[in-house]
């Protein structure tokens, strides 16, 4: 049964043929997209600003942008009303902006679609040969068993192709869609420091989108559409403890404590070092009831996959040791709504060839995941007070940050038409209803987009499912799942043209 708005538009737009939609996406990917994604060292070898400041002069990002923009140009005859521009500014990563006029609809709404093309690095060539499977390599794309292996294909290399094909697949059969703008940035893996600048610069062209579709998130399995309802915030900081003006012989231990033990003591102020439960009340957020229900539904649906997807060593237990079907949702809430601390780097500690020295200082790099609704700048001020207050033995303890932080994201409640479109698209192309999930990772740009467009609806989705291993070894894009997701996005765009 069509709504009144659908009846009005139906006179100028054909009924959506789902079989034709699937066929279009299938042919486009097999004949065009995969060939582009497989180009060696041009596309999957694009570092992010955060790990390679030379990107402003080495031309890698420009090569990627040319590859992507050249592909978009091949679609100009297929997509009516398509306009593209590439924005490049000094000491900033490039930005691709695409506009597509509304097609066969009187709707005045705008849909903004987002993706990024920058990548996380690989630790070292030794790491590749030790941890990547034989015949697989981060910078040599390989298709095997229906998966495209290589760095960044799923995070987030597919996004521009998905956005364009979702529109092209509709126009190919005369099906309506609202005005669309596509934004593809090059600094997401660095916390999107340039995104806001470009959004401000383009604000008159973007307008006020009624719907934002982000194609940079994950999935709980490959059997249905997954919509991300929350993302944790992130705070990266450095804690440093010092007791000595210079290193001395370790025979003096017992007269003065080792700086590492000072840090160990101070970190215990953050959480229980066994359960991981955060001791700082200001960082603990009340989890909304609907998000607890989302976690329960997800745990019920994917079962043991909640914990079996982790590459645990033999006999190793999860953070909830006796995890089972009844309490697995708590493990999900641990990783989506509760603050957690990870040590990701160190300084002042030599390798195993280090001498018998009581070292001058120890520095640890901390990655702190925050509840979706906790402001990271506020969190930093609280953590700094907790860490630096009354240090053991009057040692010198400092907690600093380079402001590499990002706000979390809580998805606004869905309007009824969008809720129905999400679930109907999943039923059509996956034969199952969609599921909602909270993500343990952080996509700071989502907080930026929500702040920038507070009245918009949001659909946050992506292809990072089980074992896709973003940023890690054997990273892959699940090709068939990706094709179905594009069809779902097209279906949602079509429904949006009636509102």
**Domains of the chain with bracketed CATH:** 4-231+408-496 (3.40.630.10), 233-272+337-406 (3.30.70.360), 286-336 (no CATH)
Residue 177 has what DSSP assignment? B
Q: Strand (E) positions, 133-280?
A: 142-144, 147-149, 179-185, 211-214, 226-231, 233-242, 248-249
Residue 445: which of 204, 124, 213, 122 has the closest Cα?
Answer: 213
- DSSP assignment of 50-97, as one string? TT-GGGGTS-HHHHHHHHHHHHHHTTTTTSTTEEEEEE--TTS--EEE
Q: Which residues lie below 8 Å from residue 49, measured CB to CB, with a gap of 6+?
A: 55, 93, 118, 186, 187, 189, 190, 193
Q: Residue 63: what pLDDT?
A: 86
Pairing of strands 361-370, 233-242: antiparallel
**Which candidate, 66, 62, 89, places its Cα nearest to that of 201?**
89
* Half-sphere exposure for 62 (CA within 13 Å, toward CB): 11
Antiparallel, parallel or unpaired: β 248-249 and 396-406: unpaired
- Using CB atoms within 10 A of its CB, is residue 238 exposed (0-12), middle (13-18) or buried (19+)? middle
Phi, psi of 230 (to 5 degrees): -160, 155
pLDDT of residue 128: 87
- Residue 432 neighbours by CB distance under 10 Å: 14
Interatomic CA distance for residues 463 and 483, integer angstroms: 10
Kindly report whether the peptide bond that precedes residue 156 is cis, defined as omega within 30 degrees of 0: yes
Please state, in angstroms and as integers, the Cα–Cα distance from residue 247 to each residue in 113, 250, 256, 259, 360, following that order. Answer: 54, 9, 12, 11, 5
Looking at residue 47, the DSSP 8-state letter turns out to be: B
Calculate the CA 105 to chain-centre distance: 32
DSSP 319: S
Please choose, from the candidates 105, 189, 98, 95, the residue with its C-alpha nearest in 3D space to the C-alpha of residue 151.
189
Structure confidence at residue 42 (pLDDT):
47
Nearest CA to 490 out of 234, 184, 173 is that of: 173
* Per-residue model confidence (pLDDT) at position 54: 66
How far apart CA 234 and CA 259 sit, in angstroms, is 26
Q: Cα(357)–Cα(360) distance, rounded to whole angstroms? A: 9
Low-confidence ranges of the chain (pLDDT < 50): 1-2, 4-5, 7-13, 41-42, 44, 49
Q: Does residue 261 contact residue 366 with C-beta atoms inside 8 Å?
A: no
Calpha distance 455→412 (Å, rounded): 9
């Amino acid at each position: 049964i069509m709504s009144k708005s659908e009846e009005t538009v139906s006179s100028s737009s054909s009924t959506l043929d789902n079989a034709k939609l699937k066929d279009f996406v299938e042919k486009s990917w097999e004949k065009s997209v995969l060939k582009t994604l497989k180009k060696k060292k041009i596309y999957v070898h694009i570092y992010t600003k955060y790990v390679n400041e030379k990107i402003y002069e080495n031309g890698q990002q420009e090569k990627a942008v040319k590859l992507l923009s050249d592909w978009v140009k091949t679609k100009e005859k297929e997509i009516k009303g398509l306009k593209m521009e590439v924005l490049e500014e000094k000491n900033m990563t490039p930005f691709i902006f695409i506009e597509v006029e509304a097609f066969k609809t009187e709707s005045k709404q705008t849909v903004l679609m987002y993706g990024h093309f920058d990548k996380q690095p690989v630790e070292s060539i030794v790491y590749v040969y030790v941890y990547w499977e034989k015949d697989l390599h981060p910078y040599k794309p390989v298709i095997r068993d229906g998966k495209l292996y290589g760095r960044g294909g799923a995070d987030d290399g597919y996004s521009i192709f998905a956005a364009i094909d979702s529109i092209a697949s509709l126009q190919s059969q005369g099906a309506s869609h609202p005005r669309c703008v596509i934004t593809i940035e090059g600094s997401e893996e660095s916390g999107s420091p340039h995104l806001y600048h470009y959004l401000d610069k383009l604000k008159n062209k973007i307008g006020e989108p009624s719907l934002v579709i982000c194609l940079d998130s994950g999935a709980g399995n490959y059997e249905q559409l997954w919509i991300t309802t929350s993302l944790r915030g992130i705070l990266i900081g450095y804690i440093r403890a010092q007791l000595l003006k210079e290193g001395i012989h370790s025979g003096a231990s017992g007269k003065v404590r080792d700086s590492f033990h000072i840090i160990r003591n101070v970190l215990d102020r953050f959480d229980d070092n066994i359960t991981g439960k955060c001791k700082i009340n200001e960082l603990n957020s009340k989890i909304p009831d609907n998000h607890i229900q989302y976690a329960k539904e997800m745990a019920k649906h994917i079962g043991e996959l909640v914990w079996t997807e982790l590459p645990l060593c033999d006999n190793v237990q999860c953070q909830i040791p006796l995890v089972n079907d009844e309490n697995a949702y708590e493990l999900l809430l641990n990783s989506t709504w509760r603050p957690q601390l990870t040590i990701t780097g160190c300084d002042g500690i030599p390798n195993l060839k280090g001498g018998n020295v009581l070292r001058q200082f120890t520095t640890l790099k901390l990655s702190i995941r925050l509840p979706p609704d906790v402001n990271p700048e506020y969190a930093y001020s609280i953590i700094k007070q907790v860490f630096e207050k009354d240090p053991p033995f009057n040692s010198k303890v400092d907690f600093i940050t380079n402001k590499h932080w990002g706000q979390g994201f809580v998805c606004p409640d869905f309007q009824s038409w969008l809720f129905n479109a999400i679930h109907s698209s999943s039923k059509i192309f996956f034969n199952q209803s969609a599921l909602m999930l909270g993500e343990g990772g952080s996509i700071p740009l989502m907080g930026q987009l929500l702040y920038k467009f507070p009245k918009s609806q949001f659909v946050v989705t992506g292809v990072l499912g089980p074992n896709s291993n973003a940023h890690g070894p054997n990273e892959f894009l699940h090709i068939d799942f990706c094709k179905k997701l594009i069809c779902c996005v097209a279906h949602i765009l079509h429904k949006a043209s009636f509102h």
